[in-house]
């Protein structure tokens, strides 16, 4: 009779399937909808949905309802959970293969410009801009803008950055995308489902990333946009930025077009 050691760790069983591995690699780059994944992997929707459910049940991916079209959902890969599962799989094979998490602190060798976009440029995108600047000590040119900017930052945006991260953005004002003119960016990251649909193609497709993050300023059941929602949003964004740093560090800057 086989022992428990005959059973491969859950991560190995899940990620070892060719289609599930392809789904994981696509989601490692950007949050995506089911129909987009269907197109990318070339498989029927019912097959893709089945394998997405297995990955979601394992905790490797999560899904959130689109704030732009409530009939859609965006899938997101939890890189922290993948790292934990991969470490567990190595340890199950041999103790010497225990993986120790490495903090991605690498910085790009050449200047990199990153544009964060949401609709109002009053919460999610300015938080992302401020946190990327903080984590890279200003070595990345982080900018944020909105497709329909609000008159000012949400008060909780200023508060969460100051109280939780020691960043002062009190003088910051939302910026319209049009104000950026023909400025060149290496990466464009949308943090709002609606902004993703209307944002112009300012970068190559493979350097356009989407983070489907709910608007923390949306009214809760009490009719108020609570501060805890901004703390959760900032934590989510900071985690995503932490995993973005190795991508930026290996960035191969393309020459600007003539």
Convert the pLDDT of each residue in 5-37 to its tens digit: 568 888 998 999 999 999 999 999 999 999 999
- Structure token digits, residue 234: 């900032």
213-228 confidence digits (pLDDT tens): 999 988 655 555 689 9
Structural domain boundaries of the chain? 9-97, 112-249
Same fold, 9-97 and 112-249: no
C-alpha 117/C-alpha 144 separation (Å) is 6
Place of tokens 């567990």: 88
C-alpha 58/C-alpha 56 separation (Å) is 5
Q: What is the mean pLDDT of residues 103-109?
A: 57
- Assign domain 112-249 one CATH number from 2.60.450.10, 2.60.120.960, 3.40.50.2300, 3.40.50.150: 3.40.50.2300
Q: How many helices (H) and strands (E) does the chain have?
A: 9, 7
157 near 169, Cβ under 8 Å?
yes
Higher-scoring residue by pLDDT: 182, 45: 45
Q: Is residue 209 classed as helix, strand or coil in its secondary structure? A: strand
With a cut of 50, say whether residue 99 has pLDDT above it. Answer: yes
CA distances from 222 to 218, 225, 234 (A): 11, 8, 21
C-alpha 216/C-alpha 19 separation (Å) is 34
| Pairing, β 208-210 against β 187-190 | parallel
With a cut of 80, say whether residue 177 has pLDDT above it. Answer: yes
Overall fold of domain 9-97: Arc Repressor Mutant, subunit A (1.10.10)
Poorest-pLDDT segment among 144-158, 168-182, 222-236: 222-236
pLDDT at 182: 80
Give pTM, 2 decimals.
Answer: 0.85
């Amino acid at each position: 009779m086989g022992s428990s050691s005959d059973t491969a760790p859950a991560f190995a069983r899940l990620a070892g399937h060719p289609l599930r591995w392809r789904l994981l690699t696509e989601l490692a780059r950007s949050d995506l909808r089911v129909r987009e994944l269907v197109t990318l992997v070339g498989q029927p929707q019912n097959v893709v949905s089945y394998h997405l459910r297995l990955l979601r049940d394992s905790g490797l991916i999560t899904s959130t309802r689109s704030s732009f079209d409530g009939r859609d959902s965006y899938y997101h890969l939890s890189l922290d959970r993948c790292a934990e599962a991969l470490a567990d799989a190595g340890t199950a094979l041999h103790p010497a293969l225990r993986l120790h998490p490495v903090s991605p602190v690498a910085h790009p060798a050449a200047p990199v410009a990153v544009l964060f976009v949401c609709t109002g440029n009053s919460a999610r995108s300015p938080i992302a801009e401020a946190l990327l600047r903080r984590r890279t000590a200003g070595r990345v040119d982080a900018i944020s803008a909105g497709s329909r900017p609000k008159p000012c930052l949400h008060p909780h945006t200023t508060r969460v950055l100051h109280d939780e991260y020691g960043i002062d953005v009190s003088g910051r004002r939302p910026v319209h995308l049009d104000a950026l003119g023909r400025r060149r960016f290496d990466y464009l990251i949308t943090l709002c489902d609606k902004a993703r649909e209307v944002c112009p193609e300012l970068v190559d497709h493979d350097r356009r990333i989407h983070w489907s993050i709910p608007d923390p300023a949306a009214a809760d059941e009490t009719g108020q946009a609570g501060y805890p929602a901004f703390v959760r949003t900032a934590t989510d964004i900071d985690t995503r930025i932490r995993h973005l740093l190795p991508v930026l560090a290996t960035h191969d800057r393309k020459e600007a077009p003539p």
